[in-house]
Amino acid sequence: MFLKNLKLLCNATFLTATLSIASASSAAPVELVVNGGFEAGNTGFSTDFTNANGATPGLASVSVMTTTYFGLAPSSGSAFLAVNGGNVAGALPTVWEQDITVVGGVEYFLSFLLGGTSLQPTPVGQLSVQFGGTEILNALAPASANFLSFGATFTAAASGTFALAFVEQSVGFGGNDYGLDDISLTFDNSGPVAPVPLPAGALLLLSALGAGTVLRRRRKVS
């Protein structure tokens, strides 16, 4: 009986290890931004500008568009955020903002597309991309109707919920038109993986053999 129980215990342990390895191999970057590609329309973000709700944006307005905007078309999918910038010097309005919850000490990767337009292409749009009020990077739109890719890696200084914000630095009544698409903030969850819990029968077996308490290491992600 002892040998039979020992065999069952070894099989259960092997199964647990196998499931843990499978979980680790399937780990992937975790996306924190909601509707970063704007496929769900005018949802998931706030702005200091007027939201034109699908119509062509006027001065100091934004709009999620599925058609072209002064020659600029969606980069991926079927939508993007078209921005008609402001003309008030020193205003520094927030074009797009979303609250993101992070864990202190964890490394995060930010990426997005910033596009220019073909009608009155200058001045180009300029954005300060900030997290929790700290600038992560500063980006200039191209002076043509295409998207440029931007990215930066940073480590969260503290745990909590902070604003990821795109703050306009440029000013212009003519020009200062641009687009945003594919806004993404991710972290890698491929670190230590918590073992998969044993089936109830295996736990009873461990207890019967006097194996003691089974400890599981967990990695908390907010």
Count each helix (H run) and each strand (E run) in the chain, helices first.
2, 11
Are 145 and 116 within 8 A, CB to CB?
yes
Q: What is the pLDDT of residue 40?
A: 97
- Per-position pLDDT tens, the chain of length 222: 544 544 444 444 433 333 333 444 456 899 999 999 999 999 999 999 999 999 999 999 999 999 999 999 999 899 999 999 999 999 999 999 999 999 999 999 999 999 999 988 889 999 999 999 999 999 999 999 999 999 999 999 999 999 999 999 999 988 999 999 999 999 998 765 333 333 433 333 333 334 333 333 333 333
Range of the domain at 91: 30-188
Residue 219 lies in a domain: no
Count of Cβ atoms closer than 10 Å to residue 131 Cβ: 20
Q: What is the pLDDT of residue 109?
A: 98
Radius of gyration of the chain (CA): 25
88 and 11 assigned to the same domain: no
Residue 78 lies in a domain: yes
- Residue 150's SS3 state is strand
164 and 203 assigned to the same domain: no
Residue 159 lies in a domain: yes
99 and 178 assigned to the same domain: yes
23 and 84 assigned to the same domain: no
Q: How far is CA 117 from the centre of its chain?
A: 25
Q: How many domains does the chain have?
A: 2
16 and 42 assigned to the same domain: no
Q: What is the pLDDT of residue 27?
A: 62
The domain spanning residue 147 has which CATH number? Answer: 2.60.120.260
92 and 68 assigned to the same domain: yes
35 and 134 assigned to the same domain: yes
Residue 84 lies in a domain: yes
Q: What is the pLDDT of residue 214?
A: 34
DSSP-derived pairing of the beta strands 107-115 and 147-155:
antiparallel
139 and 60 assigned to the same domain: yes
123 and 198 assigned to the same domain: no
Residue 215 lies in a domain: no
Tokens encoding 124: 């180009």
133 and 169 assigned to the same domain: yes
Positive or negative torsion for Cα 119, 124, 129, 133: negative
Q: How many residues does the chain have?
A: 222
Q: What is the pLDDT of residue 189?
A: 84
Q: What is the pLDDT of residue 26?
A: 52
User: Which among 49, 83, 47 is positioned nearest to 64, based on CA atoms?
Assistant: 83
73 and 109 assigned to the same domain: yes
